[in-house]
């Protein structure tokens, strides 16, 4: 196949389609016959569809996967910051409405991705590709790229909402939702086409944001792996077969990266573990995707800590869900019914990731978190600006109003609706350089699919098959890279599904997948975690179709358990 250029270098110039705002509901287009006069410009048109995938991974779509779970929260501060109409608390308590901006933007994002991908497919059909020097193989593989991307958007929609209106190519107009099974089958065929027609990764190739056979195979494995919540049918054996084939190199040379920095660092597109990334790049507004993470999570004056004045000030928003109660006791020890959550507390003390993040220069860094008293490289303290005004920020793995309750006891409230400024451990999943290396800022790509996920899918399949020892061996192969000498808490040969849930959480912390894992495991609506009582309402495994979408298309039907008027979840007697 003619090489498609690195997505972040070409897509900005080529994206003459509509804005990449996921709240956009009306899409415009350019005339492909006029624009696509060179192979590079055709590549750029194709890349536009992949831009939507990159944007889809952040903000509201990420919130929908994380804030409704046991690993990430966006607590309301005592000052009132981050209340935002109670949206984040409703996500945490599973009390969302059909008017939630998070859910609305997620649905719009799915359908915009579908629309943009189909638009690119239509463009390809309208361009005389041979006239500008592109052969049949290029055309076939490029169509397979877009069909697999279309399958990915539909799989995300199936995960969030269930069945969706199905469109392919030059196909428009309002139509009703297909069933979940029809949507599943549609996605399955698109991924199978990708396995057949996409190119195989070559040894040493960097991941450029486009798709290969390995990515299509991994996505099909994901589809089968989650078939029970999607269509009520077990396909674990099919997922297992694909996972083994990927690990054994049938779809290209992939390896577990022995250095954990390799999968999250500035050059992670070159990691042998990467199967499909979403590119990010310094000074590109549509590719510097982790700027939102920084701003919405980090303490306001955190630029002092990172010695980086290029990035914006932090907004002190989301953080890890707490491991400890206000008195400093682990929730999992205090209450045996709570088995989930508390990610920071479940990292072993010798785990290299648990060290506080610090950039060392020349792309080198240590740690993945911010915890405790924060100070910059020269010792300058990071100062608070609200409850901690005039004091050094001291991040704690607890949630409460420590200024109001300086001596907490068993009666001290701990709720997402009222916490002080320094509550919450912060995740630095992707490295931030200092000012001397500021051009590295946001240069780590988002690891959309990596080989560790394939290992973990296979491990869970083996665990479900009654082979916990095999599952543990697969998990421990990945875990070993996080310890200098030996793993301080390896997965045991007797591991159970709760330990599997913990391993998914720790390895993929903050990567926007937690809700999907909890639903597949049967925990999302049936297990308690910090400040969360389970509803036992299976309808909540799917989000509602947003009210505005129902109003715009009267052929759409609402998901069970929700009303059509924008009020949200129906009481049992109303269903």
Q: How confident is the model at residue 523 (pLDDT cuts 50, 70, 90)?
A: very high
Asked if residue 305 and residue 179 are part of one domain, the reply reads no
Question: What pLDDT was estimated at residue 574?
Answer: 64
Question: What pLDDT was estimated at residue 575?
Answer: 57
Closest CA to 156 of 448, 430, 429: 448
Q: How confident is the model at residue 384 (pLDDT cuts 50, 70, 90)?
A: very high
Mean pLDDT of 196-222: 96
Q: How confident is the model at residue 369 (pLDDT cuts 50, 70, 90)?
A: very high
Asked if residue 168 and residue 27 are part of one domain, the reply reads yes
Question: Does the pLDDT value for residue 22 go beyond 80?
Answer: no
109: Cα within 13 Å, side-chain hemisphere: 29
Asked if residue 295 and residue 162 are part of one domain, the reply reads no
Measured in whole angstroms, the distance separating CA 259 from the mean position of its chain's CA atoms is 22
Closest CA to 346 of 376, 322, 377, 374: 322
Exposed e or buried b for every residue in 55-92, given b needs 16+ CB within 10 A?
bbbbbbbbbbbbbbbbbbbbbbbbeeebbeeebbbbbb
Mean residue pLDDT across the chain: 91
High-pLDDT (> 90) share of the chain, %: 78
Question: What pLDDT was estimated at residue 561?
Answer: 96
Measured in whole angstroms, the distance separating CA 198 from the mean position of its chain's CA atoms is 24
- Please report whether residue 125 resides in a domain: yes
Question: What pLDDT was estimated at residue 313?
Answer: 85
Asked if residue 186 and residue 325 are part of one domain, the reply reads no
- Residues composing the chain: 575
CA–CA dist 287, 299 (Å, integer) = 23
Asked if residue 317 and residue 169 are part of one domain, the reply reads no
Question: How many domains in the chain?
Answer: 2
Asked if residue 34 and residue 174 are part of one domain, the reply reads yes
Asked if residue 303 and residue 180 are part of one domain, the reply reads no
Of 462 and 9, the structure prediction assigns the larger pLDDT to 462
Mean pLDDT of 273-295: 77
Mean pLDDT of 289-299: 84
- Please report whether residue 488 resides in a domain: no
Asked if residue 302 and residue 158 are part of one domain, the reply reads no
Mean pLDDT of 176-194: 98
Question: What pLDDT was estimated at residue 169?
Answer: 74
* pTM for the full predicted model: 0.94
Asked if residue 300 and residue 188 are part of one domain, the reply reads no
Structure tokens belonging to residue 36: 């696509």
Question: What pLDDT was estimated at residue 8?
Answer: 42
Mean pLDDT of 394-419: 98
Q: Please, which residues have CB within 8 angstroms of residue 89's CB and are 6 or more apart in sequence? A: 76, 83, 95, 416, 417
Question: Does the pLDDT value for residue 2 go beyond 50?
Answer: no
Question: What pLDDT was estimated at residue 33?
Answer: 65
CA–CA dist 296, 230 (Å, integer) = 32
Mean pLDDT of 60-66: 96
Question: What pLDDT was estimated at residue 289?
Answer: 58
391, 409, 426 - which closes a domain: 426
Instruction: Return contacts of 193-198, CB within 8 angstroms, 24+ apart.
Output: 193/144, 193/147, 193/148, 194/144, 194/145, 194/147, 194/148, 194/151, 194/219, 195/220, 195/251, 196/144, 197/140, 197/141, 197/143, 197/144, 198/141, 198/144, 198/145, 198/148
Asked if residue 22 and residue 154 are part of one domain, the reply reads yes
Question: Does the pLDDT value for residue 172 go beyond 80?
Answer: no
Asked if residue 297 and residue 170 are part of one domain, the reply reads no
Exposed e or buried b for every residue in 340-379, given b needs 16+ CB within 10 A?
bbbbbbbbbeebbbbebbbbeeeeebebbbbbeebebeee
Mean pLDDT of 361-389: 97
Mean pLDDT of 431-460: 95
Question: What pLDDT was estimated at residue 37?
Answer: 74
Question: What pLDDT was estimated at residue 27?
Answer: 37
Question: Does the pLDDT value for residue 17 go beyond 90?
Answer: no
Question: Does the pLDDT value for residue 167 go beyond 60?
Answer: yes
Q: Are 61 and 22 in contact (CB under 8 A)?
A: yes
Q: Please, which residues have CB within 8 angstroms of residue 245's CB and are 6 or more apart in sequence? A: 217, 251
CA–CA dist 514, 213 (Å, integer) = 25
- Please report whether residue 486 resides in a domain: no
Q: Are 525 and 94 in contact (CB under 8 A)?
A: yes
Question: Does the pLDDT value for residue 13 go beyond 50?
Answer: no
- Please report whether residue 210 resides in a domain: no
Question: What pLDDT was estimated at residue 573?
Answer: 58
Mean pLDDT of 184-203: 98
Measured in whole angstroms, the distance separating CA 28 from the mean position of its chain's CA atoms is 28
- Please report whether residue 414 resides in a domain: yes
Domain span including residue 15: 1-76+93-198+540-575
399, 426, 453 - which closes a domain: 426
Q: How confident is the model at residue 40 (pLDDT cuts 50, 70, 90)?
A: confident
Question: Does the pLDDT value for residue 285 go beyond 90?
Answer: no
Question: What pLDDT was estimated at residue 6?
Answer: 44
- Please report whether residue 276 resides in a domain: no
Mean pLDDT of 332-357: 96
Structure tokens belonging to residue 137: 């193989």
Task: Give the CATH number, domain containing residue 172.
Answer: 1.25.40.390
Asked if residue 294 and residue 186 are part of one domain, the reply reads no
401, 426, 451 - which closes a domain: 426
Helix ranges restricted to H, 177-260: 180-197, 213-225, 227-231, 236-247
Question: What pLDDT was estimated at residue 124?
Answer: 85
CA–CA dist 89, 124 (Å, integer) = 45
H or E element: which one contains 168? none
Q: How confident is the model at residue 153 (pLDDT cuts 50, 70, 90)?
A: very high
């Amino acid at each position: 196949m003619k090489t498609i250029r690195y997505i972040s270098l070409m897509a900005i110039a080529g994206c003459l389609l509509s804005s990449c705002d996921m709240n956009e509901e009306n899409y415009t287009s350019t005339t492909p016959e006029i624009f696509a006069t060179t192979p590079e410009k055709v590549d750029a048109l194709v890349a536009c569809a992949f831009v939507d995938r990159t944007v889809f991974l952040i903000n509201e779509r990420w919130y929908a996967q994380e804030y409704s779970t046991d690993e990430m929260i966006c607590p309301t501060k005592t000052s009132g910051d981050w209340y935002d109409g109670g949206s984040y608390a409703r996500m945490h308590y599973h009390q969302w409405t059909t008017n939630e901006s998070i859910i609305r933007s997620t649905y719009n994002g799915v359908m915009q991705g579908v629309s943009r991908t189909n638009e690119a497919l239509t463009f390809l059909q309208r361009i005389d590709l041979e006239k500008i020097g592109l052969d049949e193989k290029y055309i076939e593989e490029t169509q397979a790229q877009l069909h697999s991307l279309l399958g990915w958007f539909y799989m995300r929609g199936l995960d969030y909402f269930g069945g969706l209106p199905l469109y392919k190519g030059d196909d428009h107009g309002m139509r009703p939702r297909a069933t979940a099974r029809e949507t599943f089958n549609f996605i399955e065929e698109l991924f199978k086409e990708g396995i057949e027609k996409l190119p195989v990764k070559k040894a040493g190739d960097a991941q450029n944001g486009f798709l290969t056979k390995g990515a299509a195979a991994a996505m099909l494995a994901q589809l089968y792996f989650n078939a029970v919540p999607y269509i009520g049918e077990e396909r674990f054996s099919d997922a297992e077969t694909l996972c083994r084939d990927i690990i054994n190199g049938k779809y290209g040379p992939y390896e577990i990266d022995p250095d954990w920095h390799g999968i999250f660092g500035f050059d992670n597109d070159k990691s042998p573990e990467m199967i499909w990334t979403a590119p990010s790049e310094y000074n590109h507004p549509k590719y510097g995707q982790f700027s939102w993470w920084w701003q919405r999570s980090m303490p306001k004056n955190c630029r002092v800590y990172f010695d980086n004045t290029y990035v914006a000030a932090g907004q002190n928003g989301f953080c890890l869900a707490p491991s400890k109660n206000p008195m400093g006791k682990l929730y999992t020890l205090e209450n045996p019914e709570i088995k989930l959550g508390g990610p920071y507390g479940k990292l072993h003390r010798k785990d290299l990731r648990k060290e506080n993040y610090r950039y060392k220069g020349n792309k080198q860094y240590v740690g993945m978190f911010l915890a405790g008293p924060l100070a910059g490289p020269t010792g300058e303290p990071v100062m608070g600006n609200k409850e901690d005004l005039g004091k050094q920020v001291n991040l704690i793995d607890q949630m409460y109003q420590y200024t109001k309750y300086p001596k907490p006891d068993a009666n001290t409230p701990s709720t997402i609706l009222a916490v002080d400024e320094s509550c919450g451990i912060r995740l630095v999943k992707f490295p931030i350089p200092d000012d001397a290396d500021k051009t590295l800022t946001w240069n780590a790509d988002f690891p959309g699919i990596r080989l560790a996920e394939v290992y973990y899918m296979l491990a869970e399949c083996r665990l479900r098959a009654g082979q916990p020892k095999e599952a543990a061996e697969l998990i421990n192969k990945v875990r070993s890279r996080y310890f200098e000498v030996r793993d301080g808490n390896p997965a045991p040969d007797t591991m159970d599904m709760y330990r599997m849930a913990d391993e998914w959480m720790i390895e993929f912390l903050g990567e926007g997948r937690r809700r999907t894992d909890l639903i597949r495991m049967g925990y999302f609506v049936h297990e308690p975690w910090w400040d969360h009582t389970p509803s036992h309402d299976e309808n909540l495994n799917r989000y509602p179709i947003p009210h505005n979408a129902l109003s715009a298309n009267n052929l759409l039907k609402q998901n069970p358990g929700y009303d059509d008027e924008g009020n949200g979840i129906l009481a049992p007697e109303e269903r």
